[in-house]
Each structure stands twice: as C-alpha cells, then as structure tokens.
Amino acid sequence: MKMKKIIPLSLIFFIATTGCTGPGGFFDDDPSSEEVFVFDLTIDDMWNDIPVNQTSASDVLNLTYELGKSPRVTNLTEIGYSMNGQPLLLVEFGDYDPDVPTVYFVAAQHGNEPASVDSAYLLARHFARAIPEEIDPILENINLAIFVMVNPDGRDAGSRGNANGTDLNRDHMKLLEPEGKIMQKAFQRIHPSVTVDMHEFGGVGSIIFQVAAPQNPTTHPDVLAASYVLETDVIESINEEWGFGSVTNYPPTTSSQDSSIHRNHFAVHGSVSLLFESAVSEEYSERVRLQSWAAIAVIDEVVDDPEYYLDARQSSDSEGQEGNDIVHAYLFECSDPATTETLRILKDHGFNVGYKSGDESVTSIHYETFLPRTSFPNGTALVPMDQIGWRMITELMEYNSAKDQHYSNSPKDRGHDSWRALESVNYVIDNDVCKIE
Ligand SMILES: [Zn+2]
C-alpha cells in the first residue's frame, strides 16, 4: 500500500506540496513549506456544523481534499473516477496495524440519498481535525476508512443510479460500472473487519431510521453473528437518542439474500456488514445527524471490542465457506460481455471454473444451479454460492419471472425455465475456459 510520506520530528507538521502561498524556503527549487497543523475541533463541532441543505458534489470534493492536510490522514486517495470523470475519494486513518480491525464506511451509492455523504464527510473531518484526546484512543483500537461519495454523478443529477442509470447497489456481482469496480477495489485494499453501507429511505410513520444486517446464507456464521450484534447496538443507540420505535431493522424481501447488494456481497467476502439509512421524510439536518450518530455508534462499539470484530473477519478469511452444504454452479456463454468480468471475479477469489462435460452447448447456454454439495461428484468445477447465490433451493423452485427484477443474468432473461436449475450437471475444470487469445 502506498503510504503518505513519513514526516519526522512530530505529527503536528505537514508538508504542503502544492498551492504553497507562504514565503519561499531556503532552497529555490523546493516548493514545500512547513506549517503547524492545528487539531482544532471536538465532537461538538461535528453536531454544530451539520448542513441545513445538501452540499454539492463539487463542494464535497473540495472540502475532502482539504482533509489531506491533516497528518492524521494516512491516505487521501483518488481511488477511481465516476462515469463522468469525477474523482472518487477514499480517506484512510490509522496505520493499518493488522492486529486491529478496520472500520469502513461507504456513502450514498444512491445519488438521491444524499445525507450519508454529508455525514461521511463530517465524520472524516472529525477524525482529521479533532483534538488528540478525542481521536487517539479510537485510532489505537481501529483503523478507519471512509469512501465519502461513491456516486457523485448521481448526486449532481439527484438520481438513484450513476450516469449510466445503473443501480450501483445491484452491481456488486457483475461490476459493469466504474463505481462498482472501484468499490470492489477499495474493499480489497482496505480489507475491513466492519463495513457500513449508508443509504436513505422514504420513512414509515414514526420510524426514521433503518438498519440491516447481511442475509446471504453463505456468510460465515461469525460474520453474521457479529453483524447482528452491531446492528443491535446501532438500534439501541438510535432508540436512546430519538426514542423507542424510531428505528427498525430492514424488512426482509425476496432479494434480501442477493449478493449483488453491498451488505450481502461484502459480508460473504468476510466483513461484518451493515446497511443503515435515515428517512428522507425528516429534515435534512436531522437525516445527517441520524447517519452521523449511527456511524459513531458503530465506531464506539468496535473500539469497545475490537478483537471480536477482528476475529470474525479472520474466521471467515481462514475458513471460507466450509460447512455450507449448498453450492451454486454457474454456467455462462463466452460471448456474453459480462463473462469477462464474471470470470475475473471468480478467479480473483480463487475459484475454479470449467465447462459442462460432454455438452458442446456449454458455450451457448446460461443457467444456474443450486444443489446440495453431495449431488456433485469429485472433480466437479463448482462455483460456491457465495459468489453468485442468493436463494435456497426451495425458493429457486418457486422462481418465476415476476420476481427478481435485479438479475439480468438470471435464467428468465435467457429464456430458460427454472426447472433446468435442478438438473445435475457434471463439469470439467478448465480455468482457461472462454479465454480469448
Ligand atoms: Zn439506497
């Protein structure tokens, strides 16, 4: 990982390498100067500076760049660019000591759910600028990463999707969009123990905040358990401040196990995971306050018990999906434009791929199977359900075209009937399948 320049003597200095307006240094060819960085804020400033209206995407970017002056920011990275070429900024704190968990916030995949961006920025500003008495004890126990604004183009347009109109929170399997690819890259780089996906929702009566834990059944049980502990903690924290019944857990839906959704996808990949969202029925400042409050609750909880969250991540990393008796096999056609990305994802995660033995039509059909592991003979090339899956077999049998509008890769789109998914299939492992010379 590329680290910021290590600055000797003291953390209270920073070197400005651009935009220097001070007097020239001793050396004409050295444009840098040293200034004292003052940690000037407290947590009260975060609550006092909540905006009344949403900040524009360009202002969020400019404000976030300013945080790079703080010596506490380990990395301020343009980790990628949106469809319209706007920088996607990742702010990281802490020294990435592998013995402490990393907590990672992702704000506003949906551009028309803006409060999470303002709260993510305020959180980043707080950690960049607040007094050491408030921040140092936290960063001794966690690393922190904040993806301040995933979808700046959607924020500009007030749209849910990105500039292509794609719902980024249904893109985590296919990774068709630049923002989706960057979220994957950020996750792999950060290797978080805890991941929080920040949204907003319409609001239901007195409920002004929702929290959701991951639901994909292939999530490691320790990750699932820790996610529910964290979810409970956030619910209690919101209830204490806003009153009982102000917060609920996200209602289960048909697609709730979908691993193309952030909280499910990255839980399957080993991180304790939450989604939370404030209600747009509230005033904007209150929405930002709710999001910030919940974010602080998450941080406080992990700081209180860092080993628990670190252990969950490590258990998932070391044990993978062992113990799950459901597997998912996935066939695809080599001519499908999504195939390249699908294969890349699978190979990146160490899975074998192959072709259906004795069936030349493998290159022209596309369907999915969920079967008990025992149905597959040794030597079968299997893609475990954690990569593709979202349903148990009983649900698959009820599959019909009215469901799952999220899946353009699903059999219904290819004219295949769901019963085909129940056929037993033999595969030949061939990791070069579909390789284009
Ligand atoms: Zn959303």
Distance CA 99, CA 174 (A): 32
**Ligand 1: distance of its center to the CA of 299 in Å?**
21
Across 414-424, average pLDDT: 34
**Ligand 1: distance of its center to the CA of 375 in Å?**
38
Q: Total domain count for the chain? A: 2
**Ligand 1: distance of its center to the CA of 64 in Å?**
22
| Better-scored residue on pLDDT, 411 or 205 | 205
Strand 272-279 relative to strand 209-212, pairing: antiparallel
**Ligand 1: distance of its center to the CA of 80 in Å?**
21
**Ligand 1: distance of its center to the CA of 177 in Å?**
17
Distance CA 226, CA 248 (A): 18
255 and 296 assigned to the same domain: yes
235 and 94 assigned to the same domain: yes
349 and 260 assigned to the same domain: no
CB 90 within 8 A of CB 82: no
**Ligand 1: distance of its center to the CA of 398 in Å?**
27
Residue 190 clears pLDDT 70, i.e. is over it: yes
For residue 264, name the pLDDT band (cuts at 50, 70, 90).
confident
**Ligand 1: distance of its center to the CA of 116 in Å?**
10
**3 state DSSP class of 191:** coil
CB 346 within 8 A of CB 353: yes
Across 164-169, average pLDDT: 94
416 is a domain residue: yes
212 and 343 assigned to the same domain: no
Q: What is the DSSP string of 127-146?
A: HHHB-HHHHHHHHTT-EEEE
Work out the mean pLDDT of the chain and round it to a whole number: 75
**Ligand 1: distance of its center to the CA of 158 in Å?**
12
Across 383-401, average pLDDT: 33
Residue 21 clears pLDDT 50, i.e. is over it: no
CB 230 within 8 A of CB 298: yes
Last residue of a domain, one of 317, 349, 366: 317
39-54 burial code (b ≥16 CB/10 A, e <16): bebeeeebbeebbeeb
437 is a domain residue: no
**Ligand 1: distance of its center to the CA of 202 in Å?**
10
Across 291-306, average pLDDT: 98
| Better-scored residue on pLDDT, 225 or 251 | 225
For residue 268, name the pLDDT band (cuts at 50, 70, 90).
confident
Residue 271 clears pLDDT 60, i.e. is over it: yes
The confidence score (pLDDT) of residue 340 equals 65
Distance CA 356, CA 118 (A): 50
17 is a domain residue: no
Q: Name the residue among 349, 61, 308 with its Cα closest to residue 184.
A: 349
Residue 370 clears pLDDT 90, i.e. is over it: no
Distance CA 91, CA 74 (A): 8
**Ligand 1: distance of its center to the CA of 290 in Å?**
15
**Ligand 1: distance of its center to the CA of 132 in Å?**
34
49 and 102 assigned to the same domain: yes
**Ligand 1: distance of its center to the CA of 372 in Å?**
34
**Ligand 1: distance of its center to the CA of 44 in Å?**
28
**Ligand 1: distance of its center to the CA of 9 in Å?**
45
The confidence score (pLDDT) of residue 432 equals 77
**Ligand 1: distance of its center to the CA of 109 in Å?**
6
21 is a domain residue: no
The confidence score (pLDDT) of residue 87 equals 98
Last residue of a domain, one of 264, 289, 317: 317
Distance CA 106, CA 146 (A): 6
pLDDT for 66-84, tens place per residue? 999 999 999 999 999 999 9
- What is the chain's percent helix, strand, coil content, to nearest 5? 40, 20, 45
136 and 45 assigned to the same domain: yes
- Alpha carbon 130 to chain centroid, angstroms: 26
364 and 296 assigned to the same domain: no
13 is a domain residue: no
**Ligand 1: distance of its center to the CA of 34 in Å?**
42
384 and 273 assigned to the same domain: no
CB 403 within 8 A of CB 332: no
The confidence score (pLDDT) of residue 269 equals 83
Q: How distant, in Å, are the alpha carbons of 103, 343, 368, 425 from that of 420? A: 42, 22, 8, 10
Distance CA 370, CA 394 (A): 10
pLDDT for 315-331, tens place per residue? 888 876 443 333 444 44
19 is a domain residue: no
Largest CA distance in the chain: 77
| Better-scored residue on pLDDT, 165 or 422 | 165
**Ligand 1: distance of its center to the CA of 367 in Å?**
29
List of residues 6+ apart from 179 with CB closer than 8 A: 80, 82, 83, 88, 109, 150, 151, 162, 168, 171
**Ligand 1: distance of its center to the CA of 106 in Å?**
11
304 and 370 assigned to the same domain: no
For residue 257, name the pLDDT band (cuts at 50, 70, 90).
low
Residue 161 clears pLDDT 80, i.e. is over it: yes
Q: Domain holding 251: CATH number?
A: 3.40.630.10
**Ligand 1: distance of its center to the CA of 185 in Å?**
20
Residue 356 clears pLDDT 90, i.e. is over it: no
Residue 383 clears pLDDT 80, i.e. is over it: no
**Ligand 1: distance of its center to the CA of 216 in Å?**
18
2 is a domain residue: no
- Torsion sign across C-alpha atoms 71, 74, 78, 82: negative
Last residue of a domain, one of 297, 317, 337: 317
Residue 390 clears pLDDT 50, i.e. is over it: no
For residue 35, name the pLDDT band (cuts at 50, 70, 90).
confident
The confidence score (pLDDT) of residue 10 equals 36
> Crossing angle of helices 306-319/221-242, nearest 10°?
150
**Ligand 1: distance of its center to the CA of 113 in Å?**
6
| Better-scored residue on pLDDT, 129 or 410 | 129
**Ligand 1: distance of its center to the CA of 89 in Å?**
19
Distance CA 188, CA 190 (A): 6
Across 379-394, average pLDDT: 33
390 is a domain residue: yes
For residue 277, name the pLDDT band (cuts at 50, 70, 90).
very high
268 and 333 assigned to the same domain: no
pTM of the model: 0.72
182 and 254 assigned to the same domain: yes
Residue 345 clears pLDDT 60, i.e. is over it: no
**Ligand 1: distance of its center to the CA of 167 in Å?**
9
**Ligand 1: distance of its center to the CA of 201 in Å?**
7
372 and 291 assigned to the same domain: no
The residue segments making up the domain with residue 154 are: 38-317
**Ligand 1: distance of its center to the CA of 10 in Å?**
42
